[in-house]
Amino acid sequence: METVHTAPRAAARLDRARQAAPQVFERLRNAILALELPPGAPLSRTELAAQFGVSSTPIRDALMRLEEEGLVEVFPQHATVVSRVDVGRAEQAHFLRQALELEIVRLLAEEHNAALVIRLDHAIALQQQSAKAGDFESFIAGDNDFHAQLYAAAGKQDLWSLVRSRSGHIDRLRRLHLPSPGKAQNIVRHHKLITRAIEAGDPDTAQQHLRKHLSGTLSELDKIRARYPEYLTD
């Protein structure tokens, strides 16, 4: 299995002006999705409390939310570990996202929103910069921004929040796949094609490119499984 090399950043000190538990949750969730905390990594509540500079309560609450998303497994009186990537949950998240976004891009292509096209082109330009720099975390943030713009333009921001809360397993699959040669460039290319179809008012083509875009990682599942067999479970 190939090793994913990461530099843990999850436990930086928190903003004291904000509630601790949501911050701990976001820091840990981001670290899990970025594979800074890889599948199987142990999470000690005592150590996390010390690292974040908080009591045990925010740590407990954050871990409960992560367990609800299936990103950690809690073994009472024993241990808490980062879960393996559940392929079944990844496929369900993909199904949900595809169903929503196919309708969203059709709606947007029919609306001819010039301001949206400008915003999407800007997001794509930032992604290209991240790809050239080999900055995968910024690239992923740019990818999320591109899709968030679609939901926002369609007035479906709450659905984006729903999608994000269900996407932990598919997001980790994508993170494992992203370093593959040409993968980042393919994502950028698909974003451009979707944007041009929206700009042209062509909903069928927008849907066609979106479907191919969202299916890219699952179509390579066998290769990802062969490279990272200890990280995945059916």
- The average confidence (pLDDT) of the chain is 91
Both tokens of 96, joined, read 């949900």
- Provide the pLDDT for residue 11: 54
Both tokens of 173, joined, read 């699959």
Strand 72-75 with 85-86, pairing: unpaired
**Confidence grade of residue 12 (pLDDT, cut at 50, 70, 90):** low
**Confidence grade of residue 7 (pLDDT, cut at 50, 70, 90):** very low
For the chain, percent of residues with pLDDT exceeding 90: 86
Residue 15 has pLDDT above 80, yes or no: no
pLDDT digits (tens, 9 = 90+) for 202-221: 999 999 999 999 998 999 99
Average pLDDT over residues 93-107: 97
Residue 10 has pLDDT above 60, yes or no: no
Q: Which amino acid is at 222?
A: D
Identify the weakest region by mean pLDDT among 6-20, 112-126, 160-174.
6-20
